[in-house]
């Protein structure tokens, strides 16, 4: 008995039948004597459909109005799920993000939670209500609706678990745990019984969309007991925790991110200060840069390439354009036909054979590497997007199966 936060993703509530299934899981947990707070996402592909509707009317709509629109998806889910629980005869209240006290910073579209004013949540729990909270949304200091970025409901759930000191935060989804690679791409991928926060953080930030990156960061920071499991199979899932028993498996997983673009500034002067100009301007415009590669200078010229997420490609190009007269490149090239593949596992740098093995697997598969980046816990390569599936399979075969 305790306090359990349960989060259900879009596929788990996609239609009436799925909503009744979820209501069943929630009310069973409540009947076992637990207090239950539920966070729910928009049904099925609702968020994508809302994005589509907006682009039909105004592809350059303001981020403020996009948030007003996108937050409606989750509001539909909380009411329908609450109705299902009412039907089963249990006490329930639905709350939007702002009713539940989610205060965010002022950035629209990718807001960060600043705090949760938890009085309402606590009051509802005191009244023995099951509380159903809309994920992915909050309100900023100007009383405007904000959203937390794609996949952000996971972060809503972990944030509630953190402020309420929940005993457990369960993320229910359409696969029964965290796998060594996306099981939809690599059918041979293996389910992990447990994974450390650091490894999960790296997998998520390298593109494994199973968990929102910030949810893992927050779970680590506040020591939230986190579990990923399926809403359909009712089998044990994957536990994410601080320390994981040492296993033979060094590589925990392979992740891909194909929502990225490579920008190259070709033929800039080989003098001090150029990289500073480029990256300080990008930082000032809040463009997140990932892998950076600078060529060795030749004939007083050099090339600088870097990757950004596709959603920030245009902003990055605008920045480069605005400093064209200062950095004087021969040309600026953008390529979206790229993907980043990463292998993740603790102690990567201490095992030099891992990088060699990854490059060998790619070479055997005839795949060219455009950029490389390494850290203590991951090795990433940039490749041609069309090679993604082949590359994941080759790397997975090499290290995991």
Residues binding ligand ASP (CB under 6 A): 9-10, 41-42, 47, 73, 135-136, 150-153
Q: Tell me the angle at which helices 274-284 and 313-322 cross, rounded to the nearest 10 degrees.
A: 130
| Cβ within 8 Å of residue 126, ≥6 positions away | none
CB of 222 to Mg ion, least distance (A): 20
CB of 240 to ligand ASP, least distance (A): 17
**What is the distance between the alpha carbons of residues 213 and 381, in angstroms, rounded to a whole number?**
20
Nearer to ligand ADP, 179 or 306 (CB): 179
Distance of CA 395 to the CA centre of its chain: 22
Nearer to ligand ASP, 158 or 181 (CB): 158
**What is the distance between the alpha carbons of residues 331 and 300, in angstroms, rounded to a whole number?**
16
Applying CB under 5 A, which part among 88-96, 144-152, 300-308, 317-325 lies near Mg ion? 144-152
Applying CB under 6 A, which part among 31-39, 174-182, 300-308, 312-320 lies near ligand ADP? 174-182
- The DSSP line for 13-64 is GSSHHHHHHHHHHHHHHHHTT-EEEEEE--STTHHHHHHHHHHHH-TT--HH
CB atoms within 10 A of CB 24: 15
Instruction: Please return the burial class of 299, using the count of CB atoms within 10 Å of its CB with bins 0-12, 13-18 and 19+.
Output: exposed
The site string for ligand ADP over 190-209 (x = CB under 6 A, - otherwise) reads -------------x----xx
| Cβ within 8 Å of residue 192, ≥6 positions away | 177, 178, 179, 180, 238, 252, 253
Residue 261 pairs in a beta bridge with: 308
The site string for ligand ADP over 101-140 (x = CB under 6 A, - otherwise) reads ----------------------------------------
Nearer to ligand ASP, 105 or 270 (CB): 105
CA distances from 393 to 151, 182, 368, 398 (A): 25, 11, 15, 9
CB of 121 to ligand ADP, least distance (A): 22
210 binds, among Mg ion, ligand ASP, ligand ADP, none (CB under 5 to 8 A by kind): ligand ADP
136 binds, among ligand ADP, ligand ASP, Mg ion, none (CB under 5 to 8 A by kind): ligand ASP
Nearer to ligand ADP, 253 or 329 (CB): 253
CB of 62 to ligand ADP, least distance (A): 26
| Through-space distance between the first and last CA atoms of the chain, rounded to whole angstroms | 39
| Cβ within 8 Å of residue 318, ≥6 positions away | 285
| 138 scored as a contact of Mg ion (CB under 5 A) | no
Instruction: Return the residue nearest ligand ADP (CB atom).
Output: 9
Instruction: Return the residue nearest ligand ASP (CB atom).
Output: 153
CA distances from 90 to 17, 28, 29, 63 (A): 18, 10, 12, 38
Nearer to ligand ADP, 209 or 269 (CB): 209
> For residues 105 and 140, is the Cβ–Cβ distance under 8 A?
yes
152 binds, among ligand ADP, Mg ion, ligand ASP, none (CB under 5 to 8 A by kind): ligand ASP
| 85 scored as a contact of ligand ADP (CB under 6 A) | no
CB of 211 to ligand ADP, least distance (A): 8
Nearer to ligand ASP, 240 or 395 (CB): 240
Angle (CA) 218-224-230 rounded to 5° is 100
CA distances from 330 to 26, 267, 362 (A): 60, 5, 32
| 253 scored as a contact of ligand ADP (CB under 6 A) | yes
Read off the DSSP letter of residue 349.
T
| 151 scored as a contact of Mg ion (CB under 5 A) | yes
Question: CA torsion angle for 231, 2, 209, 376 (degrees, to 10)?
Answer: -140
| 393 scored as a contact of ligand ADP (CB under 6 A) | no
CB of 151 to ligand ASP, least distance (A): 5
184 binds, among Mg ion, ligand ASP, ligand ADP, none (CB under 5 to 8 A by kind): ligand ADP
Binding site residues, ligand ADP, CB under 6 A: 9-12, 41, 151, 173-175, 178-179, 181-184, 203, 208-210, 253
């Amino acid at each position: 008995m305790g306090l359990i936060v349960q989060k259900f993703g879009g596929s788990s509530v996609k239609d009436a039948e799925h909503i009744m299934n979820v209501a069943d899981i929630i009310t069973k947990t409540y009947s076992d004597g637990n207090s239950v707070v539920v966070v729910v996402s928009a049904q099925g592909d609702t968020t994508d459909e809302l994005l589509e509707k907006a682009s039909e009317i105004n592809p350059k709509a303001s981020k403020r109005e996009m948030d007003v629109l996108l937050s409606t998806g989750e509001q539909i889910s909380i009411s329908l799920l609450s109705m299902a629980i009412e039907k089963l005869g249990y006490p329930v209240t639905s709350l939007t993000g702002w009713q539940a006290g989610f205060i965010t910073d002022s950035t629209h579209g990718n807001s960060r939670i600043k705090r949760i004013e938890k009085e309402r949540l606590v009051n509802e729990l005191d009244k023995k209500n099951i509380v159903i909270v809309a994920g992915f949304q909050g309100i900023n200091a100007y009383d405007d609706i904000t959203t937390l970025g794609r996949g952000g409901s996971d972060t809503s759930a972990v944030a509630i678990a953190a402020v309420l000191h929940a005993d457990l935060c369960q993320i229910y989804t359409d696969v029964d745990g965290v796998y060594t690679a996306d099981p939809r791409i690599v059918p041979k991928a293996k389910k992990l019984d447990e994974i450390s926060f650091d490894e999960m953080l790296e997998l998520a930030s390298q593109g494994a969309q199973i968990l929102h990156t910030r949810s893992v960061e927050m779970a680590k920071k506040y020591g939230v007991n986190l579990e990923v499991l399926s809403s359909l199979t009712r089998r044990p899932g994957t536990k994410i925790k601080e320390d994981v028993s040492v296993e033979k498996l060094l590589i925990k997983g392979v992740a891909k991110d194909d929502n990225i673009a490579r920008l190259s500034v070709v033929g800039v002067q080989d003098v001090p200060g150029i990289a500073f100009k480029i990256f300080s301007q990008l930082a000032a415009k809040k463009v997140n840069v990932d892998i950076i590669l600078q060529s060795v200078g030749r004939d007083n010229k050099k090339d600088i390439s870097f990757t950004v997420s596709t959603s920030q490609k245009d902003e990055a190009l605008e920045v480069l354009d605005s400093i064209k007269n200062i950095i004087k490149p021969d040309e600026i090239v953008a390529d979206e036909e790229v993907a980043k593949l990463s292998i993740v596992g603790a102690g990567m740098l201490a095992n030099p054979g891992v990088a060699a093995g990854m490059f060998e697997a790619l070479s055997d598969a005839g795949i060219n590497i455009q950029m490389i980046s390494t850290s203590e816990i991951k090795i990433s390569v940039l490749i041609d997007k069309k090679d993604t599936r082949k590359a994941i399979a080759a790397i997975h075969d090499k290290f995991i199966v």
